[in-house]
Amino acid sequence: MRRKEPRVLLIESQSELRELNELILREAGYQVTLLPPGTDPVTTAAQTSPDVIVVHIRPRQPEDWQIIDRLNADPRTETIPVVALSSSERLLAEARAAPTVEQVIVMPYDIDALQRAVADALKRPPPAAVLPPPLHPPPESLLAAGKLLSAHSREVVLRAISRLQQIEPFTSHFAELSPGLVDNLPVIVGAIIVGLQRDLTPEQVVAPAAIREAIRKHENLRVSQGLTPTAVLQEYQVLNDQMLAFLREQIGEAHFNAVQAFDAARVIDGYIAEILRLAISDFLAKSGRTKSTK
């Protein structure tokens, strides 16, 4: 049986880039669907069900950010990994804050870079694709909170990062927003939001190998960047604080109330506590291995 070619939806408004990227991807063996002029990209993605979506983020074009955020928030597209292209490294760092954006490429780029990014994105689906489905209808309070957080997940991650840059030791290590600062925080936030929407237990949220790996890689990167385990734990607490602060700000908006915010906060606290438990366990295990080799 012939192997099925992966499908790529190419969202590109500039005709020259559209033609070039289509050629690059087709030569790599992908089935490429171009976004028809005047059509909604999220609706097209939902109808065509691509394996990967490639989006060009242009400077001073807010509609491009709307595409990224809507793809992440829509239940029909939240499981599809996104590759973001841009001429701006800062814009790509901001795009990387979305849980669905797995790969980013700075323009100009060579043929191999685009082909490699799509291939890597196929191997690393978003949290919504790896977490289990709900076993029962989730409570309305968790659904409401999860919907709000999902629509603004990139904003929440960037707010947490901005807060981290104001406190030590992060201030000394990260003067500018960069992919290395963002790292796997969006995956972790994405897992928490999906867990909230599906009413999963903390153990279920961190059970998938992809989520555990994201947590471990994040810890390893921070240590390699010169941060201590204590700083990593502090980072998770800031993440928790920013998620809860965002929900408090939404009280009174879109029929979201204080009771719903309280219910969601309790569950989010449980997820963060489980992530902290894993992180501490990993640090202790590494410390033990280090001592045993001396």
The whole-number pLDDT of residue 3 equals 54
Distances (CA, A) of 52 to 10, 108, 211, 273: 9, 21, 19, 33
pLDDT of residue 245: 98
What residues are paired with 32 via a beta bridge?
8
Six token digits for residue 80: 């599809």
Query: Would you state the structure tokens that stand for residue 245, as one six-digit string?
Result: 């602060």
In the prediction, which pLDDT does 290 show? 53
**Are 7-125 and 128-292 equal in CATH topology?**
no
| DSSP-assigned beta bridge partners for residue 55 | 11, 84
Question: What is the four-CA torsion angle of 65, 177, 238, 71, rounded to 10 degrees?
Answer: 20
pLDDT at position 286, please?
Answer: 80
Are 64 and 57 in contact by the 8 Å Cβ rule? The answer is yes
pLDDT in tens, the chain (294 residues): 445 799 999 999 899 999 999 999 999 999 999 998 889 999 999 999 999 999 999 998 999 999 999 999 999 999 999 999 999 999 999 999 999 998 999 999 999 999 999 999 999 999 999 999 999 999 999 999 999 999 999 999 999 999 999 999 999 999 888 888 999 999 999 999 999 999 999 999 999 999 999 999 999 999 999 999 999 999 999 999 999 999 999 999 878 999 999 999 999 999 999 999 999 998 888 876 555 555
Q: What is the pLDDT of residue 179?
A: 84
> Was domain 128-292 assigned CATH 1.10.150.120?
no
Beta-carbon contacts of 238 under 8 Å, excluding residues fewer than 6 positions away, are: 160, 163, 164, 167
> Shortest CA distance to 115 belongs to which of 228, 249, 22, 187?
22
Contact call for residues 52 and 94 (beta carbons, < 8 A): no
**What are the residue ranges spanned by the domains of the chain?**
7-125, 128-292
Q: What's the confidence (pLDDT) of residue 287? A: 72
HSE on the CB side for 74, CA within 13 Å? Answer: 19
Residues comprising the chain, all counted = 294
Q: What is the pTM of this model?
A: 0.93
Nearest Cα neighbor of 282 from 215, 210, 211 is 215
Rounded to whole angstroms, the Cα distance separating 86 from 21 reads 13
CATH of domain 7-125: 3.40.50.2300
Helix (H) or strand (E) holding 126, with range, is: none
pLDDT, position 4: 79
- Report pLDDT for 37: 84
